Amino acid sequence: MSESALQTALAYHHAWTGHDFDQAMTYIADDIVCLAPAGRLDGAAAFRGFMEPFSRILLRAELLGAFGDDTSAVLFYDTDTVPVPGAPGAECLTVRDGRIVELRIVFDRVPFEAARRAQAQASTAER
């Protein structure tokens, strides 16, 4: 395949931020290894179980930096999500034959955990 890693990474990025996760998964290798803040995820199903819920709460995505070469790419973006506005993230992706075989993702879980706690408290108060 002649597409560069950056092209594959961008195609994946535009698909999931465009809320088309079926399309996003066409760029994911069956045996993808994803290294996320909460730990390692093995395989496309585990990866989808992690990223698709995030794509559902996405309100806005802005790509701030996107670079790469034939085999790897780095994306840096900002997002607004339903629970957390202004949640930046970055990915370091390795691509083989047009599919992402490794994806390291980094973001700050602190505001998401704070939003979850606030939501849990609000639910308790409603009872």
Residue 20 phi/psi, 5-degree rounding, is: -115, 80
Q: How many residues bind a copy of itself (CB under 8 A)?
A: 25
Residue 62 phi/psi, 5-degree rounding, is: -135, 120
**Cβ distance 8 to 24 under 8 Å?**
no
Q: Which of 19, 45, 108, 121 binds a copy of itself (CB under 8 A)?
A: 108
92 scored as a contact of a copy of itself (CB under 8 A): yes
Nearer to a copy of itself, 57 or 66 (CB): 66
89 scored as a contact of a copy of itself (CB under 8 A): yes
Residue 43 phi/psi, 5-degree rounding, is: 95, 160
Q: Which of 21, 50, 54, 76 binds a copy of itself (CB under 8 A)?
A: 76
